[in-house]
Amino acid sequence: MIEKIVNPKELRHWDGRIELYWIYTSGKAGDEFFKKLMNEEKFLAAKCKKCGKVYFPPRIYCEKDFSETEFVEVSGEGCVRAFTVARLDAYEKPLEKPEIYAVIDIDGTDGCLIHLLGEVEPENVEIGMKVKPVLKPKNEREGKITDILYFKPL
């Protein structure tokens, strides 16, 4: 049998880094949505001209009947459909303050949004709770979903 390396210092390895960089554009409807939110603090949904389904976030066509949609304004308020409390961050480090993530059904639409809840303690959150969005100050907004800081109880 051939002699093998037993000293781990003689065993070699290579460290490398994979360069990866991407840009994901919001698309036609998403762009309208974020610009309206960023500039006018208003929420856009998209209503199917044929079946009347209201998409939130907006879509440029109806997924059910492929017909065109039209933009409609909604308040952005909604109800908590489901929620979870995160006590660790993405790297599994304990968070100083737990974060509450919720699926929020947006009033006047058939759609929903996943976002943070704020100004509420985890033990006081309940399903069906009415919430409203809290936005960043206008000069800090950049046309991203994080322009909404969180949703707070009404």
Partner 1 sequence: MAVGKKDIECPPYAEGTPLSDADIKQKKVTYVEDHPDIRYSWTAGQAISKFLNGLKEGKILGVKCNKCGRVMVPPRMFCELCYKPIDGWVELKDTGTVETFSISYIDPDARPLPEPVIVAVISIDGASPHMGIMHILDEVKPEDVYIGMKVKAVWKSEEEREGAITDIKYWKPMEG
**Rounded CA separation 135/150 (Å):** 7
Residue 9 beta carbon to partner 1: minimum distance, rounded to whole angstroms: 10
Q: Which is nearer to partner 1, 22 or 128 (CB)?
A: 22
What is the binding site for partner 1 (CB under 8 A)?
1-2, 4-5, 10-18, 20-28, 30-32, 34-35, 38, 142-144
Backbone angles phi, psi at 90, to 5 degrees: -65, -20
Residue 30 beta carbon to partner 1: minimum distance, rounded to whole angstroms: 7
Q: Which is nearer to partner 1, 41 or 119 (CB)?
A: 41
Residue 7 beta carbon to partner 1: minimum distance, rounded to whole angstroms: 10
**Rounded CA separation 29/134 (Å):** 22
Q: Which is nearer to partner 1, 67 or 124 (CB)?
A: 67
Q: Which is nearer to partner 1, 59 or 80 (CB)?
A: 59
Residues contacting residue 46 through CB under 8 Å, at least 6 positions apart: 29, 54, 55, 56, 58, 59, 60, 69, 70, 71, 72
In angstroms, what is the C-alpha Rg of the chain? 22
**Rounded CA separation 2/20 (Å):** 42
Residue 128 beta carbon to partner 1: minimum distance, rounded to whole angstroms: 31
